[in-house]
Amino acid sequence: MGRAYQNRKESMAKTAAAITKVYSKYGREIYVCAKAGGTDPNGNLALRGLMERAKKDQVPSHVIDKALDKASGAGGEDFSSARYEGFGPGGTSVIVDCLTDNGNRTFQDVRQCFVKVGAKIGVEGSVSHMFDHQAVFQFKGDDDEIILETLMMEDVDVTDVELEDGVITVFAPHTEFFKTKTALNGAFPDLTIDVEEITFVPQTHTPVAGEDAEKFQKFLDLLDDCDDVQQVYHNAEL
């Protein structure tokens, strides 16, 4: 699952639009997170994790600071989370996470992405049961046994630890994200964690090739062009 997870991350990364769009999405997510839980990352663990992820993705400090300044002011935009599920080209399963200030507009925008490639948007729960909501950590290493033993000693509810080609991948329930991160940092202070996120990991994968692969790529590009779309999770094996 570790290698497949990384390959899937790379395939999704290739669909990223202009860098400015990536910055915009982070800015919006940081704004919403800070607005909901406060602008101090020491007291808002979700914000702290988000800011660390943004920095790893080379989002400039001024983009982060601007979002925090905006969140600390009175009023501001009123964004809410929206999640859509459906069936993509080639019989794939897709989850689309959005932040929106107009739910009707966002639904229509996302629905059109499905329609334009002959796919079908579904109802809530139509595909999410085929994914595991997981915290994922990935870093270089060669001893997965010591990682598993350490996390178990710290009473972390680990789902799986995999070692493949010198890369260790730790999977845990999404509720264990900060506990897992704290345990890893405490036991291995010099460890560089390359991937740390909460995501939807598919239980099975659907191979997509030929015309379906082209349609799926177009589908991802269309979703990426939607300003309200923050994350796209899928089980396609391209």
User: Does residue 142 share a domain with residue 120?
Assistant: no
Contact 53, 197 (CB under 8 A): yes
The H-or-E segment that residue 66 falls in is: helix 61-72
**CATH, residue 169:** 3.30.70.980
Whether the pLDDT of residue 153 is over 80: the answer is yes
User: Does residue 219 share a domain with residue 108?
Assistant: yes
User: Does residue 7 share a domain with residue 63?
Assistant: yes
pLDDT tens by residue, 37-46: 888 988 888 8
Q: What is the mean pLDDT of residues 187-192?
A: 93
3-state DSSP assignment of residue 65: helix
* Angle between helical axes of 103-116 and 210-224 (0-180°, round to 10): 160
User: Does residue 221 share a domain with residue 158?
Assistant: no
User: Does residue 197 share a domain with residue 137?
Assistant: yes
**Position 49: which residue type?**
G
Please choose, from the candidates 211, 140, 197, the residue with its C-alpha nearest in 3D space to the C-alpha of residue 13: 197
How far, rounded to the nearest angstrom, does the alpha carbon of residue 217 sit from its chain's CA centroid? 18
User: Does residue 216 share a domain with residue 102?
Assistant: yes
User: Does residue 141 share a domain with residue 197?
Assistant: yes
Look at the chain and report how many structural domains it folds into: 3
Q: 10 Å Cβ neighbour count for 27?
A: 18
Look at the chain and count its residues: 238
Please give the model's pTM, rounded to 2 decimal places.
Answer: 0.76
User: Does residue 215 share a domain with residue 123?
Assistant: yes
Whether the pLDDT of residue 150 is over 90: the answer is yes
Q: Band the pLDDT of 16: cuts 50, 70, 90.
A: very low
Q: Which of 3-7, 39-43, 115-119 has the weakest average pLDDT?
A: 3-7
**CATH, residue 26:** 1.10.10.200
Residue ranges with strand state E in 141-193: 160-164, 167-173
**Domain of residue 231, residue span:** 80-129+203-237
